[in-house]
Amino acid sequence: MKQGSSIVNVTSVLAYVGSGELVDYSATKGAILTFTRSLALKVVGRGIRVNGVAPGPIWTPLQVASLPAERVATLGCEVPMQRAGQPFEVAAAVVFLASNECSSYFTGQVLHPNGTYI
């Protein structure tokens, strides 16, 4: 990658809070978090920024396809905003971090579009 490039990784709120039901998912998202911070340190001298986003519950086709109907009906009710986020709300964070005009002084950071989950 050339100088001025930006990498944006997607982790999850579960990297921070864990999950008794989704142990493997939480662990891999934790690994992405650590990878993001470590890679940022490795490539900062080359002028490459590495950041991440850690969404909370987000309405995606995967939620509807993989969760029981009663869980889909309450998706997001556990966060203080009492709703699941929309994909465009996560996309805004990704675009911000990818843009050198907006986030040129960000590297090794993670934004949290998660409805005030944490």
DSSP assignment string, the chain: --TT-EEEEE--THHHH--SS-HHHHHHHHHHHHHHHHHHHHHGGGT-EEEEE---SB--HHHHHHS-HHHHHTTTTTSTT-S-B-HHHHHHHHHHHH-HHHHTT--S-EE--STT--
Q: Would you call 105 a catalytic residue per the annotation?
A: no
| Catalytic (active-site) positions | 25
